Chains A and B, each alone.
Chain A
Amino acid sequence: MNILRDSLVIARRNTIRIRRVPDVMVFVLIQPLMFVVLFAYVFGGSIDIPGSSYREFLMAGIFTQTVVFGATFTGAGLAEDLQKGLINRFRSLPMSPYAVVAGRTASDVIYNVLSIAMMSIAGLAVGWRIRSSVLDALIGYALLLFFSYAFSWVMACIGLAVRTPEVVNNASFMVLFPLTFIANTFVPSDNLPAVFRTIAEWNPVSALTHAARVHFGNIPASAPEPTAWPIQNSTMYTLAWAIGLILVFAPIAARSYQRAGAR
C-alpha cells in the first residue's frame, strides 16, 4: 500500500469537489470577513488595549478562531462521505487506511489558505498592519496553517464518529466556542477570572494567537512581558501541541476509519 499516492488521489478528488461546490466557498470567504467587521466595529470601541489599537490586537485572534473553526470542514466532509457510502467503497479497496483522512486534512488546508488571505485583506482595510519582516509574517501564517492542519485530525475523528455532517457542526461548536473564547483571542487574558485565566494561559489557542501577534509584530513595545510559560514560549508550545495532536489523533482516525460505515 502506498500512503502518499493514495492520499494524493483522495486530496485531488477533494480539490475537484472544492471547485464544483462553490457554496462552501461563500462561507469560507464571507464568514471571516464578517467576523473582522463585527469585532472591529462592535467591540473595537469598548475594549482598550494598552499601547495598541484593538483592531491590531484582534486580527491574530480572528485568524486563530477562523482556522480552528475551519477544521470542522474536515469532520463534516468525512461524515458526508460516510453517509453517502463512499467510505465503504474506499474501505473495500486495497488502499492505505490513513489515505482517506490524510487526503482530506491535506486538501482542507486550501480552505484555510483562502480564508486567511481574505481575512488579511479585510484586516488591512480596517487598519491592521504587519509590522514585522516578511519572513516573520510567513512564519506566523505557517504556524496558523500547521496548527489548523493538526487540529483537523481531531475533527476527522469526530466526523467519523458522529456520521452526519449536521451533527459534526453542532458537536464541534460545543468544543470550539470555549476553546477559542477562553483564550487571549478577543480580550487580553489578564482580565479573566482566576480559573479562566489559568485555562486561557495553557490553552494552545492562546499560544497560537500570541505567536501570531509576535510574528506579525502586533505586540506594542510598551506591552507587559507575559508571565505564563506557554505564552512566553508560544511558538514552541504551539508546535508541540500541533505535533502532539497529529501523533495522538492520526492513529485514532485511522482506526475509526477502518471500523466506520459498515453495517
Chain B
Amino acid sequence: MSTASRDSSIIAHNLVKKYGSVTALDGLNLEVRAGTVLGLLGPNGAGKTTAVSILTTLVKPTSGSATVAGIDVLANPHEVRKRIGLSGQYAAVDEHLTATENLEMIGRLYGMNRRGAKTRAQELIERFRLTEAADRPLKTFSGGMRRRIDLAGALIADPPVLFLDEPTTGLDPVSRGELWDVIRDRVAQGTTVLLTTQYLEEADQLANQIVVIDHGRSIAEGTADELKRRIGGEHLDVHIERQDQFELTETILKGVASGPLRAHSGDGAFSAPVKNGVHALSQVLRELEAKNVAIIDIGLRRPTLDDVFVELTGHAAEESSNA
C-alpha cells in the first residue's frame, strides 16, 4: 500500500489501440518518473488523446499494459481514478453551473465530504483568479475561463498524477501563459504530469522530457534541448519574387542550411534550418543582393512542430492528421 501511494509514476508498455482498420496507437511505450512532466508532442490524429484515454481508464487498449501511480490501469481502474486528475481539450464543465458548483460537484464525486469540497473549491477559485465566475453560470464566460475551471476540477482532490490533454489548444497567448503558470505551480508541489500538445513551445516551457509521436508510435524522445539540437536551431525563411531566380536562390540557401531545405517553386518560398541564425541571415542577404535576387520577404523564426516533423519523419505534420 505504502509503495502504491507514494509512487506517482506513469508507465505504458507497448500500447496498441485499433478502431476497426484504423490503428490509433501502434506499440507506444512511455515512462514518466514521479514528480516530472512528460510532454507528448504530435499532430492531430497522432494518437495523443487515445494514449491519455487509455491511461485515464476511459478506453481499453487492444493490447499492452499500463500502470499509473503503481496501479494496473486495466485490472484496477477504480483505484487509478482516485489518484488522477484529467483536464481535456474540450473544457468538460457544466456551463449552467457556477464555478463553485462545478468544483464542489467534482470534489464530492472524488469522495470528498461536503465541507472538504467546499473549502477546496474556494481555495482553487482564489488561486486561479476565478472569483468573478464563482457565482455565475459558466456559459457567460470565455473559453480560457472555462479551461481554467476544467483544470481546477482536475486538481480539486489533489491527485498525485495529472493528465492534461492539449490544455491550451485554441487559447489566446495570455490565457495560455496563465495556464502554464498554474501547471508549473502544480509541478513544483511534486505532481506527476503527462501533457499532450501540438506546440513545441508548450512542451519546451513545461516538460522535463518530450516524446514525439506520429501514427501512434514514438519517433523521438529526449529533453527539449536535445530535440531542438536535432531539429536545428532556427529557420531562415526566404520569399522571392521571380521564378527564374529560383535555382540560384536554392543554391545560395543550401550553402547555409544545416538540414534538408524545404522549397516551393510555385510561390518562390524557401525554408532552411540554420545553426547560427543571425550569421546565416546576413550571409544569405549579402549573396542574394550581390546576385540581384528580388526578395519579397526574408526572416528568421524558431522551429515549429512542422519543422520537427519534416526533420524526424520526412513528411509534413498535417499529412498524418487523417489517422
Residues of A in contact with B (beta carbons under 8 Å apart): 1-2, 5-6, 9, 12-13, 16-17, 20-21, 84-86, 88-95, 99, 261-263
The one of A21, A89, A261, A262 in contact with B106, judged by C-beta atoms closer than 8 angstroms, is: A89
Verify B105–A9 contact, CB threshold 8 A: yes
Verify A88–B111 contact, CB threshold 8 A: no
The one of A1, A17, A263 in contact with B49, judged by C-beta atoms closer than 8 angstroms, is: A263
Residues of B within 8 A of A5 (CB): 108
Is B97 at the interface (CB under 8 A from chain A)?
Answer: yes
Verify A85–B81 contact, CB threshold 8 A: no
Is B57 at the interface (CB under 8 A from chain A)?
Answer: yes
Q: Which residue of A lies closest to B90 (CB)?
A: A85
Verify B96–A262 contact, CB threshold 8 A: no
Is B101 at the interface (CB under 8 A from chain A)?
Answer: yes
5 shortest interchain CB distances as A-B pairs: A89-B92, A85-B92, A94-B81, A262-B58, A92-B86
The one of A6, A16, A91 in contact with B96, judged by C-beta atoms closer than 8 angstroms, is: A16
Verify B58–A88 contact, CB threshold 8 A: yes
Given contacts A9-B109, A16-B97, A88-B86, 4 further A-B contacts (CB under 8 A): A20-B96, A85-B91, A89-B92, A93-B81
Number of A-B contacts (CB under 8 A): 74
Verify A261–B96 contact, CB threshold 8 A: no
- Nearest chain A CB to B86 CB, angstrom units: 4
Which residues B159-203 have CB closer than 8 A to chain A? none
Residues of B in contact with A (beta carbons under 8 Å apart): 49-50, 53, 56-59, 78-79, 81-82, 84, 86, 88, 90-97, 101, 105-106, 108-111, 137, 153
Verify B92–A9 contact, CB threshold 8 A: no
Verify B57–A91 contact, CB threshold 8 A: yes
The one of A1, A2, A16, A99 in contact with B78, judged by C-beta atoms closer than 8 angstroms, is: A1
Residues of B within 8 A of A86 (CB): 92-94
Verify B81–A92 contact, CB threshold 8 A: yes
Verify A17–B97 contact, CB threshold 8 A: yes
Verify A263–B56 contact, CB threshold 8 A: no
- Nearest chain A CB to B169 CB, angstrom units: 14
Verify B50–A17 contact, CB threshold 8 A: no
- Nearest chain A CB to B216 CB, angstrom units: 13
Q: Which residue of A lies closest to B80 (CB)?
A: A94
Can you identify 21 A-B contacts, CB atoms within 8 angstroms? A16-B96, A17-B96, A20-B137, A21-B96, A84-B92, A84-B94, A85-B88, A85-B92, A86-B92, A88-B86, A88-B88, A89-B92, A89-B153, A92-B56, A93-B109, A93-B110, A94-B78, A94-B111, A95-B109, A261-B58, A262-B53
CA distance A92 to B90 in the complex (A): 14
CA distance A95 to B90 in the complex (A): 21
Most buried by B among A5, A88, A93, A99: A93
The one of B57, B91, B137 in contact with A92, judged by C-beta atoms closer than 8 angstroms, is: B57
- Nearest chain B CB to A15 CB, angstrom units: 11
CA distance A91 to B93 in the complex (A): 13
The one of A85, A88, A94 in contact with B110, judged by C-beta atoms closer than 8 angstroms, is: A94
Verify A6–B109 contact, CB threshold 8 A: yes
Q: Which residue of A lies closest to B153 (CB)?
A: A89
- Nearest chain A CB to B100 CB, angstrom units: 11
CA distance A21 to B94 in the complex (A): 12
Verify A94–B88 contact, CB threshold 8 A: no
CA distance A16 to B82 in the complex (A): 26
Residues of A within 8 A of B84 (CB): 92
Q: Which residue of B lies closest to A91 (CB)?
A: B58
CA distance A93 to B88 in the complex (A): 14
- Nearest chain A CB to B1 CB, angstrom units: 17
Verify B86–A89 contact, CB threshold 8 A: yes
CA distance A12 to B105 in the complex (A): 9
- Nearest chain A CB to B146 CB, angstrom units: 11
Verify A93–B50 contact, CB threshold 8 A: no
Verify A13–B78 contact, CB threshold 8 A: no
- Nearest chain B CB to A67 CB, angstrom units: 24
Residues of B within 8 A of A85 (CB): 88, 90-92
With A88-B92, A92-B57 as contacts: A2 and B97 at CB distance below 8 Å: no
Verify A16–B58 contact, CB threshold 8 A: no
CA distance A20 to B140 in the complex (A): 13
Q: Which residue of B lies closest to A261 (CB)?
A: B58
Residues of B within 8 A of A94 (CB): 78-79, 81-82, 109-111
- Nearest chain B CB to A23 CB, angstrom units: 11
CA distance A21 to B49 in the complex (A): 32
- Nearest chain A CB to B50 CB, angstrom units: 7
Residues of B within 8 A of A12 (CB): 105
CA distance A91 to B96 in the complex (A): 20
Residues of A within 8 A of B53 (CB): 262-263
